[in-house]
Amino acid sequence: MTTSPFTPAPPALYTFKLLRAASFKLDGGSMFGLIPRVVWSKTVPTDDKGRITVQHNCLLLDRVTPSSETPEISPRRVLIEVGSGDKLDPKMQEVFALERAPGTTRPRTIIDALAEVGATPESIDAVVVSHLHFDHAGALTRLPRSGERPTWAAPPNSDGGGGSSQAGGCCVTFPNASIHVQAREWHDAIANRSVMTKTYFPDHLHPIADRLKLVDSPRPFPFGFTPNRDDLPSTPIELRETELWPGGGLSVFLVPGHTWGQQAIKFTEPGPDLGGKGRTIVFTPDVMPTVNHSGAAYSLSYDVEPYTSMVTRRWFLAEAARSDWVLCLDHEPGHPLVRVKDNGNGWFTLVHEPE
């Protein structure tokens, strides 16, 4: 008797929609670190307070329905990044010039962006965040609606974080979703290991602890090893990726420097007419937040290790060029989708990619 060899199910493919959760502003000098203002200000305008405009870019993924022979083992609807949300107090909202929802005085949030494409927070099966700073993960929780009881409240006499939720508590934004983040990032967030004193807030961390799915992806370089500026990881990217659920379709890998546990998120689109494989999309976090941060030394003052960010940016861009990834930049206020091309002079050029 002969048996047929086992054929694994093909990886899930995802269509995506770009969501603009809200524009906001950050200090220009902090966003460009040691790069002199006279250099970066030629292409990046500032307001009268020296702030540059950035964006909360998020992606809504919908899995392509598998055939009747393929088991449904991956989430149908995935959200990548969630933005700041609505919990910052009025003073901090002004500091960051958070965009308002049309016709209101409240901040625009990912909930507004989802509604614009006909989606609800309840429809999200999984949320993947690159790291847990408030401008990437703050909207994992939200302020209670009128008449709604909070699901979490800060302990008495404690700093609840977030601001406006300290007195009244908050609610989980995505009640049916698992939350996927690197284990190192979670532990650093809970311990508040950051160069900023207020970026990991208890009110967007503790309420989601029971739905966490922690990931422990391999490091680009061995622990304790200090790479030279131009060193590339010896381990192929394929061996440093972590699939978030059986059947593939979506993976993450470490891009350290901004935080030690920062991750990029990778998935594949279907091809034309939803057949075969299409583009490989990589959601790119603060290793390169905008198109104006592609230079070798363009690390943020917010980075825990600017040198590591520089090394990471080199190998990340080299891999993006080699593998023909389409990058989605997390804070780009203009067109955030780009391909990376080797410029022949030892560095790289970004080319706009249609949605």
Q: In the structure, what pLDDT confidence band is assigned to residue 3 with cuts at 50, 70 and 90?
A: very low
| Range in 134-148, 159-173, 193-207 with the lowest mean pLDDT | 159-173
Pairing relation of β-strands 14-27 and 51-63? antiparallel
Cα separation, 130 vs 259, in Å, equals 10
Pairing relation of β-strands 126-128 and 178-182? parallel
Please count the CA atoms within 13 angstroms of the CA of 277 that sit on its side-chain side.
Answer: 9
Q: How many residues does the chain have?
A: 355
Residue range 55-60: average pLDDT?
A: 98
For residue 334, is pLDDT > 70? yes
Cα separation, 162 vs 90, in Å, equals 11
Whole-number pLDDT of residue 272? 82
- Helix and strand tally (H, E) in the chain? 9, 15
More confident residue, 66 or 150: 150
In order of their start, the domains of the chain are: 14-352 (3.60.15.10)
For residue 306, how many other CB atoms are within 10 A of its CB? 19
Buried b / exposed e along 272-301 (16+ C-beta atoms within 10 A): eeeeeeebebbbbbbbbbbbbbbbeebbbe
Helix (H, G, I), strand (E, B) or coil at 291: helix
Q: Residue with structure tokens 């583009």?
A: 279
Specify which residues 332 forms β-bridges with.
Answer: none
Cα separation, 209 vs 328, in Å, equals 27
For residue 336, is pLDDT > 80? yes
Whole-number pLDDT of residue 162? 55
Whole-number pLDDT of residue 281? 98
Residue range 219-246: average pLDDT?
A: 94
338: exposed, middle or buried (Cβ count in 10 Å: 0-12, 13-18, 19+): buried
Cα separation, 1 vs 84, in Å, equals 60
For residue 87, is pLDDT > 60? yes
For residue 160, is pLDDT > 60? no
Whole-number pLDDT of residue 282? 98
Residue range 255-279: average pLDDT?
A: 91
What average pLDDT does the structure give for the chain?
Answer: 91
Helix (H, G, I), strand (E, B) or coil at 297: coil
Cα separation, 38 vs 46, in Å, equals 12
Helix-, strand-, coil-residue percentages of the chain, each rounded to 5:
25, 25, 50
Contact present, 141 and 171 (Cβ < 8 Å): yes
Distance of CA 183 to the CA centre of its chain: 15
Residue range 306-331: average pLDDT?
A: 98
Buried b / exposed e along 158-174 (16+ C-beta atoms within 10 A): eebbbbbbbeebbbbbb
Residue range 264-291: average pLDDT?
A: 92
Residue range 134-139: average pLDDT?
A: 96
| Range in 52-56, 207-211, 215-219, 271-275 with the lowest mean pLDDT | 271-275
Residue range 272-277: average pLDDT?
A: 76
